[in-house]
Amino acid sequence: MSERKYTTDHEWILVEGDVGTVGISEHAQEQLGDIVFIELPDVGAELAQGAQASTVESVKAASEIYAPFSGKVVEVNEALSDEPSLVNSDALGKGWFFKMKISQPDELGKCMDEAAYQKFVDGLD
């Protein structure tokens, strides 16, 4: 079982083999409020760590989603095009954004485990 990792930009990553599934944290979706639109990256896009990968629009604001590691987009969650609210109802499950083939596994070392991320979020208040 893979352990979910988090970034300081509030993305989560679940690594299975050499593919990482990316979404946004519960904290991020709560801060955004009701999500009304998600622009997903193109399958086949090569993204560098920290590059803008996606955009989320909510009733409160628009926010960018960044690639938590370098790699190639191999799949996007098409369900979000019709039902972006999946992120609000299941941010850590059905509300995932995209999957990337990891080209630089060492970049994942910059990510936090759940306990460290929770401490980071608690420090934001």
User: What is the side-by-side strand order in the sheet with 35-39?
Assistant: 35-39, 52-58, 62-66
Segments making up each domain of the chain, as ranges = 4-103+112-122
pTM of the model: 0.94
Classified as helix, coil or strand, 52 is: strand
pLDDT at 1 over 70: no
* pLDDT band, very low/low/confident/very high, at 119 (cuts 50, 70, 90): very high
Phi-psi region of 105 (alpha: psi -120 to 50; beta: other; left: phi over 0): alpha
What is the domain class of 4-103+112-122 according to CATH?
A: mainly beta
